[in-house]
Structure 1
Amino acid sequence: MYRWQKVVEMCKENNRFAQNRLYEGFSGRLFRLCMRYVHRPEEAEEVVMNGFLKFFRGLPDFEYRDDNSLEVWLKRIMVNESLMHLRQQKALPIFTDADETEGLVTVYVPHYSIDTEAIYAAILELPTGYRTIFNLYVVEGYTHDEIAKQLTISIGTSKSQLSKARAMLQQLLKQRGYEQYGTV
């Protein structure tokens, strides 16, 4: 039996203790994930709470396969809730179509050269649009086609925004002294 399987089964029976245990087990990481999108802690807390409400409402339809499937589903809910929050707050910028031929900047970060906190801090400084697309593509693994559909933009705009996000991230990291490790 997987680590969270029994807890999920108990949550399906509306066991409040199990729901609290699941929340406590995942809320920290999911809060951090939401912070990458919404940027303000109080907003991220609200998004996490709304995401968990949606999770618990949809739990009867969830087919538990393993701990990974649970975490993937929770992350997807939180990303969607974050994007919905940004739309409601009108914080998602209006993207304009961009030239699809615009080159992409490759981000190369040797695993030993920059600590995770430095990268995380730099990502948080990106403008909302750049940060959103960077997170969806690089961190969450969405394709440009999926991002375009989710944000109702063109694939070229998604690629362009990612390119600009990477360039800005590279600049931010260089300003912090990470240029000696090669191309970022």
Structure 2
Amino acid sequence: MKILFNNKKEDLLSRLKKQEPAAQKIFYEQNVKRFLSVSKSYVSDIYQAEDCVIKAFCKIFKSIETFRSEGNLEGWARRIVVNECLNFIKSHKTVFYIDDINPAVLEEFHDEITDFDFNAQELLDQLPDAYRMVFNLYVIEGCSHQEISETLDISLAVSKTQLFRAKEKLRKIYFQQQKNLKNEYSEI
């Protein structure tokens, strides 16, 4: 059954705040693919990533009244998706952080390791969860190391270490893929 809206002035947000199923369906369809991509960048298993997205949409629709229109609705909802992924990872205790690199070394290599091109999702899927979470929060979400350390309940040094290691691992994976491609083409 298709629902028609009488008042054309009503926007999607006001309809969402009224808990209208048709508005929820529209919002879901507009954002599900993007949010699944976000979730997949944190949770490597597709089924677990889908579960996180479903739970996030439930939270979005349940708490839509708390959105104050101070920013972008999609950005607010994306933050809920990210938080749901982080909560999932924390609850499964599958992430271990290692703090054994001198943070001063990180600053030295920072500029060198930030500017390479890669197919993000394929490479991110190959990172350990701890690396991927810090990388996503820092690079994709734009969080500071202080925010990351508070969000993940880790030290500032561990946040910097994990980012450094993530970038190094991404670089190694990328160059290995390039080397493999070059070898495949030379055999043809």
TM range, smaller chain: 0.7 to 0.9
Q: Which residue of 2 aligns with 1:145?
A: 146
Question: When the two structures are superposed, what TM-score results if normalisation uses the length of structure 1?
Answer: 0.84
Aligned to 1:14: 19
Which residue of structure 2 aligns with residue 81 of structure 1?
84
**AA in 2 matched with 1:121:** E
- 1:7-48 Cα offsets, whole Å, 9 max, x none, are 121111111011011011001000010001111111111101
1:173/1:51 CA distance change after superposition, 3 Å = same
Q: How many residues in Structure 1 have an aligned counterpart in Structure 2? A: 167
Structure 1: distance between partners of 2:78 and 2:100: 28
Please give the alpha-carbon distance, in whole angstroms, between the structure 1 residues aligned to 2:25 and 2:15.
Answer: 11
Amino acid at match of 1:80: N
1:28 and 2:39 aligned: no
Q: Is the 8 A contact 1:131 1:165 kept in 2?
A: yes
- Cα distance in 2 for residues equivalent to 1:171 and 1:9: 48
Query: Does residue 42 of structure 2 align to residue 41 of structure 1?
Result: no
Kept after mapping to 2: 8 A contact 1:97/1:156: no
The one-letter amino acid paired with 2:49 is A
Distance 1:152 1:98, change over 3 A: farther
Q: Tell me which amino acid in the other structure corresponds to 2:19.
A: N
Deviation at 1:102, TM superposition (A): 2.6
Q: Percent identity?
A: 30
Q: Report the equivalent of 1:55.
A: 60
Alignment TM-score, normalising by the size of structure 2 = 0.82
In the other structure, the counterpart of 1:90 is 93
Q: Does 1:107 align with 2:100?
A: no
Letter in structure 1 aligned against 2:38 = L
Aligned counterparts of 1:54 and 1:36: Cα–Cα separation in 2: 20
- Specify whether residues 152 and 12 from structure 1 end up closer, same or farther in structure 2 by C-alpha distance, changes over 3 A only: same
Gaps of 5+ in 2: 1-9, 180-188
The letter of the residue matching 1:134 is F
2:11 aligned counterpart, secondary structure: helix
Letter in 2 for 1:136: L
Q: SS at the partner of 1:177?
A: helix
Larger Rg: 2
Aligned to 2:75: 72
